[in-house]
């Protein structure tokens, strides 16, 4: 019989279309649990564990490993996926996690950049007129005007942009493609960037859109450092990252009248629940408009 973890890995890769990074994370979590149950004398395998052993692992992760509830929930999600796979493959009759409830976590709220902060970075910053200056501006423009993820940005290739329709083909999570409109301002920077890109003395990753000065694909850490550097000048917010730019994209659209379903499609979310985390900021804006506009509030002020 094929090793269950090997079969699980093939299932995640071929049927669920998970990325290699996600695949490795799931397998690490399952193998971590497997190592844990091997430490006792019960002789239990992954196929015949009881929830009490899962609960003991959770306690160990929190008390000995010092993990947060959020990190523990992520590991348990991997384990749940593994046991769903075993059920589907008829390797077990019931999942030991069938009645498990996730640990309570505090909702993480990333404050978006204000429209003024965005204007200061995009319009008023003096970008050098060389390859790196134009490339840096393009990265910021793309993240803010399309809402794409950092991983999606660095995976863009030359054929991703359609100049005729001004759209961008984005490969999202689980290899799902979506088409995102590109604003004129971003298209202009993209055209300028392509001129600079063609003038590079050497291009190693020839099909990749966003390159460094050596002609290689940029890394995720590079994009993070770039965003942190540019926004540290204009913003005192603690978190300054590509994800905050994605959050800013969604919040500014909602604040200016976009409906939730449209924002969901633009972000590439599978459900509205994922998009609703961005509504707290637009709700704050709505409250301000409400207080400023309602006659009862005006009369009492």
Is-catalytic flag, 243? Answer: yes
Tens of pLDDT along 84-114? 999 998 989 999 998 899 888 876 666 889 9
Q: Which of 18, 83, 161, 278 is catalytic?
A: 278
Q: Give the pairing type, strands 177-181 and 167-171.
A: antiparallel
Is-catalytic flag, 173? Answer: yes
**pLDDT at 17 (0 to 100):** 81
Structure tokens at 290: 């409400």
Q: What is the DSSP letter of 157?
A: B
Please check the confidence at residue 275 and state whether its pLDDT lies above 70.
yes
Q: Tell me which CATH code domain 4-88 carries.
A: 1.10.150
Q: Which of 135, 137, 149, 150 is catalytic?
A: 149
User: What does the radius of gyration of the chain's CA atoms come to, in whole angstroms?
Assistant: 24
Domain 115-290, architecture per CATH: Orthogonal Bundle (1.10)
Taking the model in full, what pTM does it have? 0.67
Tens of pLDDT along 13-55? 888 888 788 889 999 999 999 999 988 766 778 888 889 999 9
Q: Which of 110, 252, 264, 269 is catalytic?
A: 269
**pLDDT at 288 (0 to 100):** 61
Rounded to the nearest integer, the mean pLDDT of the chain is: 88
The domain locations on the chain are 4-88, 115-290
Q: Which of 246, 247, 252, 264 is catalytic?
A: 246
Is-catalytic flag, 237? Answer: no
Distance (Å, rounded) from C-alpha 79 to C-alpha 25? 11
Is-catalytic flag, 176? Answer: no
**pLDDT at 282 (0 to 100):** 56
Is-catalytic flag, 278? Answer: yes
Q: Which of 16, 100, 173, 239 is catalytic?
A: 173
| Comparison of pLDDT for 274 and 109, the residue scoring more | 274
Distance (Å, rounded) from C-alpha 60 to C-alpha 40? 13
Is-catalytic flag, 110? Answer: no
């Amino acid at each position: 019989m094929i090793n269950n973890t090997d079969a699980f890995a093939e299932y995640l890769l071929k049927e669920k279309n998970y990325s290699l990074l996600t695949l490795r994370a799931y397998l690490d979590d399952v193998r971590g649990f497997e190592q844990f149950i091997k430490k006792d004398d019960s002789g239990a395998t992954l196929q015949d564990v009881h929830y009490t052993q899962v609960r003991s692992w959770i306690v160990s992760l929190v008390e000995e490993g010092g993990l947060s509830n959020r990190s523990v929930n992520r590991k348990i999600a991997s384990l749940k996926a593994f046991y769903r796979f075993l059920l589907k493959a008829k390797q077990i009759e019931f999942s030991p996690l069938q009645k498990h409830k996730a640990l309570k976590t505090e909702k993480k709220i990333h404050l978006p950049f204000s429209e003024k902060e965005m204007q200061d970075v995009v319009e008023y910053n003096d970008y050098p007129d060389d390859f790196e200056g134009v490339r840096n501006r393009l990265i910021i423009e793309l993240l803010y005007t399309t809402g794409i993820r950092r991983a999606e940005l660095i995976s863009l290739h030359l054929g991703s942009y359609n100049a005729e329709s001004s759209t961008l083909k984005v490969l999202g999570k689980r290899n799902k493609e979506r088409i995102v409109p590109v604003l004129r301002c971003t298209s202009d920077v993209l055209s300028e960037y392509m001129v600079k890109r063609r003038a590079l003395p050497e291009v190693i990753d020839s099909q990749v859109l966003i390159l460094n000065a050596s002609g290689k694909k940029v890394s995720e850490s590079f994009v993070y450092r770039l965003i942190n550097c540019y926004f540290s000048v204009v913003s005192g917010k603690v978190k300054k990252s590509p994800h905050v730019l994605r959050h800013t994209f969604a919040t500014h659209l909602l604040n200016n009248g976009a409906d939730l379903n449209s924002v969901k499609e633009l972000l590439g979310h599978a459900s509205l629940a994922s998009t609703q985390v961005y509504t707290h900021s637009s709700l704050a804006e709505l409250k301000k408009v409400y207080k400023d506009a309602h006659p009862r509030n005006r009369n009492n002020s």
